[in-house]
Amino acid sequence: MTGTARDAAAGPSRRQLGRRVLAVGGALVALPFPAGPATASSTGGRHPTLRHGSPERAGLLPAHLRRLVTDAEAFLGPSPRHPWYAGAVLLAGRGGTVALHEPIGMAVRYSAYDEKTDTGVEFPAERQIPMAEDTVFDLASVSKLFTSLLAVQQIERGALALEATVASYLPEFGAAGKQDMTIRQLLTHTSGFRAWLPLYKEPTYEGKLRLIWNEAPIDPPGTKYLYSDLNLISLQLVLEEITGRTLDALLRNEITAPLGMHRTRYNPPASWKPEIAATEDARAPWSGLDRGLVWGEVHDENAFAFGGVAGHAGVFSSAWDLAVLGRTLLNGGAYGRTRILRPESVDLMFTDFNTEFPGDEHGLGFELYQHWYMGAMATPHTAGHTGFTGTSLVLDPTTDSFLVVLGNSVHPVRTWRSGSAPRVAAADNLARAVPVRPARGRTSWFSGMATATTATLTLPPLDTSGDGARLRCAVWWDTEPRADALFLEASTDGGDSWTPVPFTTVRPGEAPQRHSDGSLTGWSGRVWHRLAADLPGSAGTVLRWRCATDRLYVGRGVYVDGLRVENGRAVVFDEARPADAARVEPAGWTASAN
């Protein structure tokens, strides 16, 4: 088990329309349909390809990139009781530069799991295999991205319609209340399907299909978000029906061969086994099948029962190959001179279709804005996916950065790990490695990125008597929405009590935004905003910025720069003046150059 047609009334044809307009979150998005296959077509130009390079070449801060590795290595030890993974391969970069590509720990360490002592039975030292840069991993649910890419290709070619019902391609699928379930609902996990079914218990392929045909949605399609393997298994059946090819052949011909992803495939050959990370000692009761040590074969029970080729799981790949895929998508669907998708299609994969389900943002196949594994890389445009075996891919178009974390976290058993702490730590460090330049001068005040923390930046007592006192500054913020926030507060009694100070922010080229409660949360667009606030009249007003985070996740943090308070024509505080700046009390804030 992993962690997560035509329209009924056909209407005008693709050739007649030239494009179809799709409603996305209340907006209209035009989706073009090019003629003929998009795979490996010449683009007439060369798009960025990957090469190893220094952090500086990638525009990243080296110290934070190195911390990504040291933090990841900590999870090779008790986390909190057992290792989170036996080993991992970490890859991070920006633009066309892979600035970090490092293996840690072991690809193969345990021969079995002893449930009586809750310990792993280790191979002899000479039979253990360390991680290498090119170690191949069972991607588990990251495989769903490949199925989704193949579906979007078919949408481009007019063979598949996003709002068509699944039953219009697979008539048997329409049983048990699924007649209105659409392709989009499969791709965005809003179909109403339960999370999974033990299809592996059915011995025949036909029997497995019958279970899917007879499965009724637990919620009316389109009414709730529920991550389900059945969505991508069903999409696989649609793709194989409309193309006449198996999913593994589609993957090879449409994605991996054109992009040169030679270490990505279903069912790796036996010769690859020494280069593959082992997964679980699969036995009851924690596994649905008694298979012993799974190594070189797909871990997921249902994918194994489908012969290793399934829409929800089964793809094996390396960190470099996944980075190539990520670079292709960040390039708008092209890599070098090869194009597998049009930019408009990639935009749809990174567009939130689930605006009715806040917190479950989802594009076509890709999860969006998920701090629980994207950490501080998460923005409304950040796309990614995880896999139950310990894998993940995160792509941030706003900074053109990418992160691959491939771990064998079910080795020797799935119960040893929980949560996504290593993924979050890696993403936090890569996000911190992307510089934020001060709005002016050489430094700006930075709140830091610690969880469960309250940091304050306090100005000295100021004379704001009268009704003309005003604060001006620049502010940059990226916090976990609603959970973490920045507050502007004032005290006129020496700090015994504090009240919110409403303010206005202005992003260049946009209308002013009023913050009547004196707070900010969420994402600022990675740009500085001008801030202005009217201040209470008092001979001894104290102003402070208070940044508060919860215990779970954080964003990239908050920066404040150019603090200046005027009272009428008089300047009563100016951060640029050394004497004034020396009086600021930055409890938990630092003067950061980036």
Q: What is the pTM of this model?
A: 0.92
- Per-residue model confidence as pLDDT tens digits over 229-280: 999 999 999 999 999 999 999 999 999 999 999 999 999 999 999 999 999 9
Residue 359 is classified by DSSP as T
| C-alpha to C-alpha distances, 411 to 79, 84, 101, 434, nearest whole angstrom | 14, 9, 22, 33
Query: Tokens at residue 191, please?
Result: 């179909």
pLDDT, the chain, mean? 92
| C-alpha to C-alpha distances, 504 to 414, 519, 556, nearest whole angstrom | 49, 10, 22
Amino acid making up residue 483: A
Using the predicted structure, report yes or no on whether residue 594 has a pLDDT greater than 50: yes
| pLDDT for the residue numbered 41 | 43
| pLDDT for the residue numbered 12 | 29
| C-alpha to C-alpha distances, 223 to 8, 181, 190, 232, 369, nearest whole angstrom | 20, 11, 7, 18, 21
| pLDDT for the residue numbered 51 | 98
| pLDDT for the residue numbered 4 | 38
Distance between CA 261 and CA 310 in Å, rounded? Answer: 19
Distance between CA 83 and CA 90 in Å, rounded? Answer: 17
Query: Tokens at residue 433, please?
Result: 């490695």
By CB atoms closer than 10 A (0-12, 13-18, 19+), residue 270 is exposed
Using the predicted structure, report yes or no on whether residue 164 has a pLDDT greater than 70: yes
Contacts of 285 (CB under 8 A, 6+ apart): none
Closest C-alpha to 191, from 151, 147, 236, 228: 228
Name which residue leads in pLDDT, 148 or 32. Answer: 148
User: What is the pLDDT averaged over residues 81-107?
Assistant: 98
Rg (CA), the chain: 26
- Give the least confident one: 372-376, 382-386, 565-569: 565-569
The C-alpha torsion from 559 through 562 and 566 to 569, rounded to 10°, is: -160
Query: Tokens at residue 350, please?
Result: 């990174």
| pLDDT for the residue numbered 21 | 36
